[in-house]
Structure 1
Amino acid sequence: MNVKIKLSNTLRTLLLGALLFGSLAHAEVQPLDRVVAIVDNDVIMQSQLDQRVTEVQKSIVKQGANQPPLDVLQQQVLERLILENLQLQIGDRAGVRITDEELNQALETIAQRNNMNLEQLQMALKQDGLSFSAAREQIRREMIISRVRQRRVADRIDVTNQEVKRFMASEHGQLQLSEDFHLANILLPVPEGSTAAVIEKAAIQAQQIYQQLQQGASFADLALSRSSSENALEGGDMGWRKTAQLPPPFDKLIPALAPGQVTQPVRTPGGFLIIKLLEKRGGSNQLRDEVHVRHILIKPSEIRTDAEAQKMAERLYERIVAGEDFSTLAKNFSEDPGSARNGGDLDWVDPGILVPEFQEVMKRTPSGQLSKPFKTGYGWHVLEVLGRRATDSSEQMREQQAMNILRNRKYDEELQGWLREIRDEAYVETKL
């Protein structure tokens, strides 16, 4: 079961303050407001369009880009509103609901990712001209759209083992699956054509910095005070790089380092360079924690409300607690076709491939214990943890990484096709 869900880039941009979204379907009606589009059973108002256009214009200004003609921008924004409206209507008909508890958890997660608490998040939103209540509603809509896409798009994607093998054997695939290194640097420049004395002086200074680092000095502080690199103000942070992106001799030096270690000063065309390995990921030797888990999934649908799905999951939970066989109930009632035939057994899984809600409940549930019913974007679950282990599964992780890359690639393609489908099948009348 591939159940990875995350908030959309639009939402992350919203909450970082780069692009402020207003209400899609419930904007306050302004004087002389009028309908600019009829979308199936709903409408889009001029006030909604104007508000969104204004916000996009502000975002373009922040990016330093050129503003397109107003009529072109209006058409683009209106088309985006139409697609969002259609997805929200699909979610409403399918009974997709976001509870206050889920919404609060999402807000807390967003605040934490931005190194804030909820109060600080409210203040940041206020400074960007957006009320906390408006942000909550926008997050709710984004979560609904995400769940609609998960049900309608993700379930249509299939990646074969042959595709995975071909990708892993390709040059591009090997690059994608190679180790990633999070690096920082300190650069002591040596101008072109410098005398031997200037070069020697820079070499001595670089060696002194290296000795300070070996004695425990802060790399970030020295980068700020001594480095001439363009990222010196960020403590020399270069971000993540792959081996193929590193120039010689660093392509050989960096993989031999342990996180926290630094290279000796190296003479480069720009000067003397010292690089620190902050952290690394991927590669051939990987230990991962795995959980043996089984679950029963009950989905809301056009004929079953979310509340009814919850009650059904609660009844199944009570039956298991009373002594009925989990496997038999999963075969009879679970709506996860991939695991139902196996009595709900997901086998040994890497928690990282599961949605956050599933991960969290699984993490809290002791081995041999049953969880109470809980909700994810797929529906209502009851899970049982059968065991935990740490395993060396380098090849399996590479295969899973390749699978995720291919699924994400197919998802983007499938999503665009699905959006065209729902747009073509809908009744849309624009009145601009």
Structure 2
Amino acid sequence: MKNTFKTLALVSSLLVGALTQAHAKEELLDRVAAIVNSGVVLESEVHDLFTSIKLQAKKNNQSLPSDSALKTQVMDKLINDSLITQLGERMGVQVSDAQLDQTIANMAKENNLSLTQFRESIVADGLEYDKYRESIRTELISGEVRRNSVRRRIFISPQEVENLLSVMKEQTNNDIEYHLGHILIEFPTDATQEDMTKAKTRADKVIELLNGGSDFNKIAIASSGDANALKGGDLGWKNINEMPTLFSELIDGKEKDTIVGPIRTGLGFSIVKVLDIRGRQVVEVEEVKSSHIIIKPSIILSDDKAKAMLQDMLDKIEAGEADFAELAKEHSEDGAALKGGDLGWADPSTYDSAFSDALATMEVGEYHKPFRSSFGWHIIQLNGRRMVDVTSQMSENRAYQILYNRKFGIESARWIKETRDEAYIEIFEQEESDD
């Protein structure tokens, strides 16, 4: 099989003849940088992401590691993207042009720019807008596949929720947030004692460099095996309860610029730095109250048929010939069917991206035409919107979400590691460029 893949790579990398008036002239179109199961990573993709990161670093006045170290991290990300995208294709995860346009419109709005201004800013940064647009599609698909794949690995017991609620009620330091940086020095899945010793030696060396004043962002990009490596290891702002338990016990009460570690985890040795400290920010989130009917395509029920069934239901609802809740009880294919499709109040960001994007376009009382998510075909009824202050909310939902986010980060890292371990990956030596 390996030889077959090598042959494919060589064929994919052949020079294509471009005819001129006088004679045929060979022109290099692209090369395969890596084979990832049934897909490939092209050198042009490596070059584009590499260039984009360097442009952003220059714009933000950030230091970067050597080009070879950066390209290694870029290749790792593109391999992960390829694996996840292939999984997405098998799962039927899709992001339509309409969903993509809505996401980009939201990004422009968050930056207080019109769509035209946003596009111009992308081009001004030296990026091709069409390629940037497709990279957003890839990120949306990757995020959805990751959420769907990791969600089923997470179990949170009622006792865990009760325990966290008790801790939160007794805390006096819940008004402090820490901006954290993280570097993960990995060891293999079935690590030997020698593997762990080598990883520990590397982690100790990283600690030594950081204590000597080396740039955290630069070392994270060069050395970290964490998913946030290309972001300089940035974990964002978190209070004590939102951190992994191993981190919170060591970070609680520490001052800015404190470095802790190496911390042994199931994936390797973690090194954490307190980049900054602030008082807890007031956080408001919008919650929506909605109901839905979902029909899941199958071998005997095509996508077109599922969509048509829902459109017929919606026509009857809007004509006053049928009731949404009764149709949901009769036809919807999930646990909410018994409640007439009622999903209750929820933060829309916790839903499938296609579902949350659809909700974002709706007015209260409105129905949404049939659309496809990674779970199946839906119609939605939006029943309400409200803003909720979640800063110091000590509800069961808040505690559950904190526990979920903690476990999601850990399980997400395990999941992608296992996915890579099971994949066929072959990386080809790249030609030197003028980057």
TM-score, with length taken from structure 2: 0.58
1:292–1:114 CA distance, 2 compared to 1 (3 A):
closer
Counterpart position of 1:408: 405
> How far apart, CA to CA, are the structure 1 residues paired with 2:32 and 2:107?
34
Q: Which amino acid aligns with 1:364?
A: E
Match of 1:91 among 84, 88, 92: 88
Question: Which residue identity does 2:360 align to in structure 1?
Answer: E
The answer for the alignment partner of 1:281 in structure 2 is 282
Aligned equivalents of 2:171 and 2:297: distance in 1?
Answer: 41
Whether the aligned pair in 2 keeps the contact of 1:147 and 1:378 (CA below 8 Å) is no
Cα gap change, 1:389 to 1:410, in 2 (>3 Å)? closer
Question: Equivalent residue for 1:364?
Answer: 363
Q: Deviations over 1:278-333 (max 9, x none)?
A: x9736xxx9x9976543212346788775554334323323545634544542443
How far, CA to CA, are the matches of 1:107 and 1:173 in structure 2? 42
Are residue 81 (structure 1) and residue 78 (structure 2) matched?
A: yes
Are 2:166 and 1:166 aligned? no
In structure 2, give the amino acid aligned to 1:148: V
Residue 106 of structure 2 aligns to a residue whose secondary structure is: helix
Residue by residue, what CA displacement relative to the aligned partner does 1:42-74 show, whole Å, maximum 9, x if unpaired?
11223322333333344455453242361x333
Encode CA deviations 1:217-239: one digit per residue, 9 max, x unaligned.
xxxxxxxxxxxxxxxxxxxxxxx
- 1:1-20 CA distance string (max 9 Å, x none): xxxxxxxxxxxxxxxxxxxx
* 1:365 partner amino acid: V
Q: Which residue is equivalent to 2:65? A: 67
Q: Indicate conservation of the 8 Å contact 2:33/2:43, yes or no.
A: yes
> 1:94·1:300 contact (CA, 8 Å) conserved in 2?
no
Question: Considering only aligned residues, what root-mean-square deviation do their CA atoms show, in Å?
Answer: 4.3
Q: How much has 1:370 moved relative to structure 2?
A: 4.5
Please list, as runs of the form range in 1=range in 2, the aligned pairs for 1:306-325 lying within 5 A after superposition: 307=304, 309-321=306-318, 323-324=321-322
Cα distance in 2 for residues equivalent to 1:54 and 1:120: 22
The structural deviation recorded for 1:160 is 2.6
Cα distance in structure 1, aligned partners of 2:303 and 2:169 = 44
Question: For 1:326-378, what per-residue CA distance to the aligned partner results, in whole angstroms no more than 9, with x for missing partners?
Answer: 445424432333x12333222455667656435435x5132xx6543345565
1:21-420 aligned at under 5 Å gives the runs 31=28, 33-61=30-58, 62-68=60-66, 70=68, 72-170=69-167, 174=171, 281=282, 293-299=290-296, 307=304, 309-321=306-318, 323-324=321-322, 326-337=324-335, 339-349=336-346, 356-360=356-360, 364-366=363-365, 370-375=367-372, 378-384=375-381, 398-420=395-417
State the aligned residue count. 307
Q: What is the identity, as a one-letter code, of the residue corresponding to 2:282?
A: R
Shift of 1:116: 0.3
Q: In structure 1, how many angstroms separate the alpha carbons of the residues matched to 2:48 and 2:424?
A: 24
Q: Aligned pair in 2 of structure 1 residues 291, 408: CA closer, same or farther (>3 Å)?
A: closer
8 Å Cα contact 1:95/1:300 also seen in 2: no
Question: How many angstroms apart in 2 are the aligned matches of 1:392 and 1:41?
Answer: 46
| Change over 3 Å in CA distance of 1:128–1:332 after alignment to 2 | same
Identity of aligned residues (%): 35
Q: 1:315 to 1:413 in 2, by over 3 A?
A: farther
**Residue 294 of structure 1 contacts residue 384 of structure 1 at CA under 8 Å; is this kept in 2?**
yes
1:373 and 1:380 in contact (8 A); partners too: yes
| Whole-angstrom CA distance in 1 between matches of 2:64 and 2:388 | 52
Q: 1:311 to 1:428 in 2, by over 3 A?
A: farther
Q: What TM-score does the superposition give when structure 1 sets the normalisation length? A: 0.58
- Structure with max Cα Rg: 1
Q: Is the 8 A contact 2:390 2:398 kept in 1?
A: no
Give yes or no for contact 2:317–2:323 (8 Å, CA) kept in 1. yes
Identify unmatched segments of 5+ residues in structure 2: 1-11, 17-26, 178-236, 240-251, 254-278, 430-435
Q: Distance in 1 between matches of 2:339 and 2:368?
A: 19
Give the partner amino acid of 1:67.
P
Distance 1:301 1:100, change over 3 A: farther
1:356 & 1:308 partners in 2: Cα distance? 23
User: Counterparts of 1:390 and 1:51 in 2: how far apart (Å)?
Assistant: 40
The SS at the match of 1:420 is helix
Counterpart code for 2:82: N
Q: CA deviation at 1:172?
A: 9.6
1:418, CA displacement in angstroms?
1.5
Residue 129 of structure 1, CA deviation: 0.9
Contact map agreement 1:151 1:378 (CA 8 A) in 2: no
Q: 3-state SS of the aligned residue for 1:281?
A: coil
1:96, 1:300 within 8 Å by CA — same for their partners in 2? Answer: no
Q: What amino acid does structure 2 have at the position aligned with 1:124?
A: S
**By how many angstroms is 1:141 displaced?**
1.3
Give the SS at the match of 2:377.
strand
CA distance 1:136–1:48, shift in 2 (3 Å): closer
